Structure 1
Amino acid sequence: MSENWGFDTNAIHAGAAPDPATGARQVPIYQTTAYVFQDAAHAARLFGLQEVGYIYSRLTNPTVSALQARIAALEGGAGAVCCSSGHAAQILALFPLMGPGRNIIASTRLYGGTITQFSQTIKRFGWGVKFVDLDDLDALRAAADDDTRAIFCESISNPGGYVTDIPAVARIADELGLPLIVDNTLATPSLCKPIEMGATLVVHSLTKYLTGNGTVTGGAVVDSGRFDWSASDKFPSLSQPEPAYHGLTFHKTFGNLAFTFHGIAIGLRDLGMTMNPQAAHYTLMGIETLGLRMARHVENARIVADWLESDSRVTSVTYAGLASSPWYETAQRVYPKGAGALFTFAIKGGYDAAVKLVDHLRLFSHVANLGDARSLVIHSASTTHSQLTDAQKIAAGAGPDVVRLSIGIEDPADLIADLDQALAAATA
C-alpha cells in the first residue's frame, strides 16, 4: 500500500497501522516468545511454509515484521529480514549463496571489522574472498572465477567516506551473472537507493543512522526481488529442492521473495541471529526522522570538512563532498543529496598527534560507533582497524595519522570550536 508514497511518508507509515486489538497508533512491542496456533492443522501449515504467520520469535515477530516492511519500502525492495547486528546481516546475506570452496569479491575499502570477517572468519566456513579496488572495473571483472558467488561493497565506505560508483559495479555484476550486495549503512536510503542502481541485496547496520540515537544493535538484509536465482546452478539453496522442507524449491515457490523467505525459514531458523522486538521498536521510531536527520548530518559534514581542509594543521581530508576529492564527480552523480557525514582527516604530527587530538576533544564523543545524532570520533588505526596489517590499514583509509569523524546534528560552529582547541593541543 506504500508504493506511491514519498520517502518521508514511508519512513513514518510503511509497515505500520493502528493496532487492531487496541487502536494503539505506535507499533507495539510484542514481547513474546511464541504464538498460539488456531489448531493442529494451522500449526502444520505454518511449519510447512504453506501459510505465512507467527510461530516463534526467533523466526518472526510482529514488531520486527513492521520494521522489515518499512525498510523494504524505503529501499525499494521486495522484502527484508532483520537480525541482531550489521555483522549478522552480512553473514545472513551470504549464507544462501555460498558453500565450501566458493568465494566473493569485496572492495578493499571496507570497515575494518568487515575485512576481518571476510578475510579470517568466513574461512572457517570454507568460504574465500578476493579484495579488489572497485574503482578499477577491469580488475573487478578479472577477479571473478567459476567459484565466485557475489560482489560486496559499501555505498559510502567506513572510515574514509569514499563513495562507490554503484551503477558501474552493478553492470559488471550483471555481465558476470552475480548478485551485487551493497552495504548502505552510511548513505541510508535517504541518500542512496542501491536497488534502483542495480544492486541485488542491500545490507544495513541498523545500529547507525537508521536508529540514529545510539541505543540498539541491529541489522537488515533487503532483497531486491530482481535476481534470477534459477538462471544457473550457482545458487542451489534457492533454485534446488530444500530437504528440510520436503523438497520445496524457494525460487519456484516464492518467486521474487525467495531470498527473503530463505533468510527467515533457513537463516534465522538455523543461525539464530534474531533481532529483539524492543530494538525493532527503537529503530522504527528512529526511522521516522531519518530524512530530516540525514539532511542535517550532510549539511554539518560539508561545513566541518570545508573548515578542516583550510586548516594548516591538517594534511588531508577524505570527504567526497569536497570539490578536491577524487570521488567528488562520482558523489555528485550517484549521491546527489550528499556524500554522507562520515569522513577522515590526517593531522600533522602523525600517530601521536592523532591520539592526542582524540583525547582533547570535549564535544565529540570518543566511541566505537557512528551515525549517532551526536558527533563521534575515533582513531581507527589503534581501534576498529587494529587487527589489520599496516598495508591493509592504509588501503582502508585508516593510516596512523588519520582520525575518523562521524558528524552529528549539533550546531556546526560548536563542532568547529571543539576541533580547533583539540588541534591546538595536539600540534602544540
Structure 2
Amino acid sequence: ARFGIETTFVKPGDIDGWKAAVRPNTKLFFGETVGNPGLDVLDIPTVSQIAHEAGVPLLVDSTLTSPWLMKPLSLGADIVYHSATKFLSGHGTVIGGVIVDGGSFDWERSGKFPELSAPYDGFHNMVFTEESSVGAFLLRARREGLRDFGACMSPHTAWLILQGIETLPLRMERHMRNTVKVVEFLASHSMVSRVGHPMLESHPSHALAKKLLPRGAGSVFSFDIAGNRNQGKKFIETLKVFSHLANVGDCRSLVIHPASTTHFRMDDAALAGAGISQGTIRLSIGLEDADDLIDDLKRALKAAEKAA
C-alpha cells in the first residue's frame, strides 16, 4: 500500500478465494508451484484460467520444483521465475535468478498494461508490444533491468549456473529418491507429530500433487517434533550430516528450526498464526546417501526426546 500497490493473499487451494480476489484494478496473479515450507500445491491450470478471464497474466515461482518436476508454462502460466541460487545451480555457491516470458499473454489486448502497449519516453517512445509481439514483458525487463538496475550477472556466476543446469535431471532424481525415504522414516517415528509433504495421503494437496507433479512435489518440506523450542534446538545441535543453513535446493542436506532462528522473537501464538509450532523443522534433502541422512535424523530425534 505504501507504493500504491494493493495485495490480496489467497491460499493456493482456495479457488473461490482466487475468484473473489479479482478487482477492476487487478493486474497480476502470482503464486508458487509449491509453498514453502507447507508444500501446498498451486492448481496452475485452474488459477491461470481465472487470471486470463480477468485479463491478467499468471506469474509463477517455480524455484522449489525446477523444470524437472513441473513445467508451469505448459500448464497455463504466462511468466515463470527461479532463484538460480538453488536447484538450477545446485551447489549454493552463487546468487542469481531466471525469468521466462512464455510469450502466451496478449499484453496489448488486455488493455491493462500501457507501460508495454503505449509509447515509453524512457526508450524514445518505443512500444514494447510492437517491438516484440510475443515477449513484450521480457523485452522491457531485459532492457530496463540492464540499463537502470544493473542486473548484470558476472560471467563466472553465469558459468556456474550453466554447469549446474547440465546435471539438473540427475540431481533432481536423487533429491526425490532420498526425499521419499526420509519422509517415510519421519512419518513412522513416534517423536514426529506431522510431516508436511504431498506424497502423504494426509496432506491436503496429495491428489493435486499426483496430477501435476507425478515425479514428486520437491525435496524441501517441514515436519513437527512433538516437543518444545529447547527440544527443537537440541535436535539441530545433534545433527552431523545436515548443515544448519537457511538456504534450500543445495546438493547438501540442509536444516533449520524457525522457532529458535528466523522466528525466535515470536511467541507461541504468533508462531501458530504463521503455521509454525515450537517443534517445526524445515529440511532440504540433498544428495547424500539416504541411509546416512536417516541415521542422522534418528540420532537427533533421540537427543530431542531426552531433552524433554
TM-score using structure 2 length: 0.94
Post-superposition offset of 1:426: 0.8
Greater RCO (Cα-Cα under 8 Å, separation 6 or more): 1
In the alignment, what sits opposite 2:221? 343
Q: 2:227 and 2:6 mapped to 1: Cα distance?
A: 38
- Does residue 324 (structure 1) correspond to residue 190 (structure 2)? The answer is no
Q: 2:105 and 2:290 mapped to 1: Cα distance?
A: 43
In the alignment, what sits opposite 2:94? 216
**What amino acid sits opposite 1:266 in the alignment?**
E
In the alignment, what sits opposite 2:162? 284
1:237-287 Cα offsets, whole Å, 9 max, x none, are 111111122211001121112111101111232222332221111000000
Which of 122, 133, 143 lines up with 2:21 in the alignment? 143
In the alignment, what sits opposite 2:134? 256
In the alignment, what sits opposite 2:255? 377
Post-superposition offset of 1:357: 0.8
Post-superposition offset of 1:233: 2.8
1:339-370 Cα offsets, whole Å, 9 max, x none, are 11011100011322222211111100000101
1:29-74 Cα offsets, whole Å, 9 max, x none, are xxxxxxxxxxxxxxxxxxxxxxxxxxxxxxxxxxxxxxxxxxxxxx
Which of 65, 74, 83 lines up with 1:187 in the alignment? 65
Q: Secondary structure at the match of 1:294?
A: helix
Which of 283, 288, 292 lines up with 1:410 in the alignment? 288
Q: 1:396 and 1:291 mapped to 2: Cα distance?
A: 33
Whether the 8 Å contact between 1:239 and 1:249 is mirrored in structure 2 is: yes
- Does residue 310 (structure 1) correspond to residue 194 (structure 2)? The answer is no
Q: 1:398 and 1:174 mapped to 2: Cα distance?
A: 34
Structure 1 residues 384 and 194 mapped into 2: Cα distance closer, same or farther (>3 Å)?
farther
Q: 1:124 and 1:270 mapped to 2: Cα distance?
A: 22
Q: 1:155 and 1:393 mapped to 2: Cα distance?
A: 24
Q: 2:29 and 2:231 mapped to 1: Cα distance?
A: 37
Q: How many residues of Structure 1 are paired with residues of Structure 2 in the alignment?
A: 306
Post-superposition offset of 1:388: 7.9
5+ unaligned residues in a row in structure 1: which ranges? 1-122
Q: 1:383 and 1:296 mapped to 2: Cα distance?
A: 29
Structure 1 residues 299 and 312 mapped into 2: Cα distance closer, same or farther (>3 Å)?
same
Q: Which moved more, 1:161-170 or 1:393-402?
A: 393-402
Post-superposition offset of 1:374: 0.7
Post-superposition offset of 1:168: 1.6
Post-superposition offset of 1:231: 1.4
1:58-116 Cα offsets, whole Å, 9 max, x none, are xxxxxxxxxxxxxxxxxxxxxxxxxxxxxxxxxxxxxxxxxxxxxxxxxxxxxxxxxxx
Q: 2:292 and 2:173 mapped to 1: Cα distance?
A: 18
Q: Which moved more, 1:212-221 or 1:380-389?
A: 380-389
**What amino acid sits opposite 1:215 in the alignment?**
T
Whether the 8 Å contact between 2:223 and 2:280 is mirrored in structure 1 is: yes
Q: 2:154 and 2:3 mapped to 1: Cα distance?
A: 26
In the alignment, what sits opposite 1:239? 117
Q: 1:400 and 1:143 mapped to 2: Cα distance?
A: 32
Superposed counterparts of 1:19-34, under 5 Å = none
Structure 1 residues 253 and 150 mapped into 2: Cα distance closer, same or farther (>3 Å)?
same
5+ unaligned residues in a row in structure 2: which ranges? none
- Does residue 354 (structure 1) correspond to residue 232 (structure 2)? The answer is yes
Structure 1 residues 145 and 190 mapped into 2: Cα distance closer, same or farther (>3 Å)?
same
**What amino acid sits opposite 2:8 in the alignment?**
K
**What amino acid sits opposite 1:405 in the alignment?**
L
Whether the 8 Å contact between 1:156 and 1:186 is mirrored in structure 2 is: yes
In the alignment, what sits opposite 2:245? 367
Whether the 8 Å contact between 1:159 and 1:397 is mirrored in structure 2 is: no
Whether the 8 Å contact between 1:346 and 1:402 is mirrored in structure 2 is: yes
Structure 1 residues 330 and 317 mapped into 2: Cα distance closer, same or farther (>3 Å)?
same
Post-superposition offset of 1:326: 1.9
TM-score using structure 1 length: 0.68
In the alignment, what sits opposite 2:40? 162
Sequence identity, in percent?
47
Whether the 8 Å contact between 2:56 and 2:110 is mirrored in structure 1 is: no
In the alignment, what sits opposite 2:108? 230
Superposed counterparts of 1:90-109, under 5 Å = none
